[in-house]
Amino acid sequence: MTDLLKIESFKLRKKLRAWLGPILIFLLIMISFPLTVELASDELKNVFYSILWLSSLLTVMVSLDSIFLEDFDDGTLEHYLILNNSLFSMILIKIFIYWLLIGIPISILGTFFSISTSGDFSSFYIAFPSMLISSYIFINLFALGNSLSLNKGSALGALITMPLLFPVLILLGKIVLNANFGFEISNLLLLMLGVLLIIIVIIPFIISFVVKTHLE
């Protein structure tokens, strides 16, 4: 497992455009958004989180464009299946590495922008945990979509994933709404964490079956 972790992180780290490119896209959206609208500071705060969630969604979508395609094309998936009889661990680790190299950096950047926009450090407690958890959920869901549309184009993968993303986006909206009204948000964060814990195990399991079918 440790070897797999090292190998998968090595592969992604060496492919700068796969992780640094999406982070730069995220940064670009977050910087350019306030410049392109004429909103008073208070109004900006109201729409800021919507932009934050949507840009993290887009960043994840772009970064996961070829999460399995390259390994499928060069025979890595086939090779791993022969060696281990299962793709589960590889997919679990692959998704985790994407979160580590893309999900965490955009969560940190998003939190930074959240604090700077609101001018209030307490927004850290809204933005950081919700970004961390939601990015991991987004990565899992887009990975599932891409596995289903492996070799058939990433647009189809995004289309398949969209309906699954809506509940997460609604939950994120609720978190911001509750925080604005001064209500407790920890219960909603725990709910989202619970969803993540289920997804972390189930999605790689489903993906491993889907990818095996493609290999057949």
Alpha-carbon torsion (201, 207, 208, 210), positive or negative: positive
Q: Which DSSP symbol is given to 37?
A: S
10 interacts with other proteins by CB under 8 A: yes
Would you state the structure tokens that stand for residue 41, as one six-digit string? 């500071």
Q: How far is the CB of 87 from other proteins (least distance, A)?
A: 11
Among 1, 2, 14, 122, binds other proteins (CB under 8 A): 14
- How many residues bind other proteins (CB under 8 A)? The answer is 19
CB-wise, 78 or 169, nearer to other proteins? 78
Q: How far is the CB of 187 from other proteins (least distance, A)?
A: 44
200 interacts with other proteins by CB under 8 A: no
CB-wise, 55 or 63, nearer to other proteins? 63
CB-wise, 48 or 72, nearer to other proteins? 72
Q: Which DSSP symbol is given to 67?
A: T
CB-wise, 73 or 120, nearer to other proteins? 73
In whole angstroms, give the CA distance from residue 11 to residue 66.
13
Please, which residues have CB within 8 angstroms of residue 153's CB and are 6 or more apart in sequence? none
216 interacts with other proteins by CB under 8 A: yes
Please, which residues have CB within 8 angstroms of residue 1's CB and are 6 or more apart in sequence? 89, 93
In whole angstroms, give the CA distance from residue 47 to residue 114.
11
- Residue 183: left (phi > 0), alpha (psi -120 to 50), or beta? beta
In whole angstroms, give the CA distance from residue 30 to residue 131.
14
Among 2, 3, 38, 182, binds other proteins (CB under 8 A): 3
Contacts of other proteins in 36-95 (CB under 8 A): 70, 73-76, 78-79, 81-82, 85
Interface residues toward other proteins, by CB under 8 A: 3, 7, 10-11, 14-15, 70, 73-76, 78-79, 81-82, 85, 212, 215-216
